[in-house]
């Protein structure tokens, strides 16, 4: 399958470097155009209808996020290419969007392209990108904000307010939802601790992350446990007790 791509970055040498890497290590990708700013980037997206857009975030004038906000539909995959930006990376991880840090690692590039190609074969409206734009615009309250959860079969978009708790098993995390559904996700729990820390979630144990809105009480007999409204008892480890107490005391 031949994949069309456009590259958007305000620095010419970055465009040249990325195009060279794609030609050498991702021959299935054909670069059909490049742009040095967001306005020209919008133009080449509309002109070529690419399968993949490699997009820099920090550009003079309009950012890569500004470019995306100006589009009415997203029938392409985006791979962000950026210097380290904690806020931007948190947003992309929340929406399960691929990103590459500069300088670009070849293995990361190949893996991101491979994932994008798999999604291109489905060729549908990019709901992950829509979710990212909603997050950046702040259009939803905390409980209504959706997080992208990638299972073995699909990517689900779940409201943070519907997640009761998360439990780890090696490099997998099980999400327990308010309606009783369970979703097994192929990522370790520490990634979700970082993503969900601003959404009322407490890491109370090495294996457990809990949404504090579902905590009924803190039981202290026979050890420390958070009792949830559904009857689940979640252990609080000794080294997490102070952090849990602080989190519960702050509402």
Q: Which of 108, 137, 166 is the last residue of a domain?
A: 137
Task: Look at 81 and 83; give whichever has higher pLDDT.
Answer: 81
* 169 DSSP β-pair partners: 172
Pairwise CA distance, residues 41 & 48, whole Å: 11
Pairwise CA distance, residues 80 & 195, whole Å: 18
The pLDDT value recorded for residue 139 is: 57
- Claim to verify: residue 14 and residue 133 sit in the same structural domain: yes
- Claim to verify: residue 132 and residue 155 sit in the same structural domain: no
CATH code at position 207: 2.40.50.1020
- Claim to verify: residue 104 and residue 47 sit in the same structural domain: yes
- Claim to verify: residue 69 and residue 114 sit in the same structural domain: yes
Percent of the chain with pLDDT over 90: 68
- Claim to verify: residue 185 and residue 244 sit in the same structural domain: yes
Average of per-residue pLDDT across 158-162: 95
Pairwise CA distance, residues 119 & 54, whole Å: 15
Nearest to 31 by CA among 1, 6, 2, 56: 6
pTM recorded for the entire structure: 0.70
For residue 126, whether the previous peptide bond is cis, meaning omega lies within 30 degrees of 0, is no
Percent of the chain with pLDDT over 70: 95
Nearest to 132 by CA among 103, 163, 93: 93
- Claim to verify: residue 163 and residue 45 sit in the same structural domain: no
Per the structure, the count of domains in the chain is 2
Cβ atoms < 10 Å from Cβ of 128:
20
Report pLDDT digits (tens) over 176-229. Answer: 999 999 999 999 999 999 899 889 999 999 999 999 999 999 988 778 999 999
| 56, 8 contact by CB (below 8 A) | yes
- Claim to verify: residue 101 and residue 13 sit in the same structural domain: yes
Sign of CA dihedral 98, 102, 108, 111: positive
Over the chain, what is the mean pLDDT? 90
Cα 187 from chain centroid (whole Å): 11
Q: Which of 137, 163, 180 is the last residue of a domain?
A: 137
- Claim to verify: residue 7 and residue 106 sit in the same structural domain: yes
Asked if pLDDT for residue 125 goes beyond 60, the answer is no
- Claim to verify: residue 110 and residue 189 sit in the same structural domain: no
Distances (CA, A) of 189 to 79, 166, 169, 184: 24, 7, 8, 11
Report pLDDT digits (tens) over 47-68. Answer: 999 999 999 999 999 999 999 9
DSSP string covering 170-215, please?
TTEEEEEETTS-EEEESS-HHHHHHHHGGGTEEEEETTEEEEGGGE
**Parallel/antiparallel/unpaired status of strands 233-235 and 225-228:** antiparallel
- Claim to verify: residue 171 and residue 243 sit in the same structural domain: yes
Pairwise CA distance, residues 78 & 20, whole Å: 19
- Claim to verify: residue 99 and residue 218 sit in the same structural domain: no
- Claim to verify: residue 15 and residue 103 sit in the same structural domain: yes
Please give the residue range of the domain that contains residue 179.
Answer: 146-249
CATH code at position 22: 3.40.50.2300
Average of per-residue pLDDT across 99-107: 93
Q: Which of 137, 168, 185 is the last residue of a domain?
A: 137
């Amino acid at each position: 399958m031949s994949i069309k791509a456009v590259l958007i970055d305000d620095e010419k040498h970055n465009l040249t470097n990325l195009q060279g890497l794609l030609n050498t290590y991702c021959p299935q990708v054909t670069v059909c155009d490049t742009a040095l700013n967001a306005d020209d980037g919008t133009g080449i997206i509309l002109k070529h209808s690419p399968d993949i857009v490699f997009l820099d975030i920090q550009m003079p004038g309009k950012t890569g996020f500004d470019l995306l906000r100006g589009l009415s539909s997203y029938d392409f995959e985006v791979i962000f290419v950026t210097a380290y930006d904690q806020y931007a990376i948190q947003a992309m991880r929340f929406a399960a969007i691929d990103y590459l840090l500069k300088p670009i690692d070849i293995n990361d590039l190949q893996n991101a392209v491979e994932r994008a190609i798999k999604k291109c074969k489905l060729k549908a409206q990019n709901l992950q990108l829509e979710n990212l734009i909603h997050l950046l615009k702040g259009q939803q309250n905390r409980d209504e904000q959706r997080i992208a959860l990638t299972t073995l079969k699909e990517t689900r978009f779940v409201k943070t307010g519907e997640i009761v708790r998360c439990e780890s098993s090696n490099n997998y995390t099980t999400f327990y939802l308010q309606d009783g559904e369970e979703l097994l996700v192929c990522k370790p729990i520490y990634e979700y601790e970082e993503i969900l820390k601003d959404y009322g979630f407490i890491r109370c144990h090495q294996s457990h992350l809990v949404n504090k809105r579902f905590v009924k009480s803190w039981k202290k007999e026979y050890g420390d446990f958070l009792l949830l409204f559904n009857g689940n008892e979640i252990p609080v480890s000794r080294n997490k007790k102070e952090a849990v107490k602080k989190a519960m005391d702050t509402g």
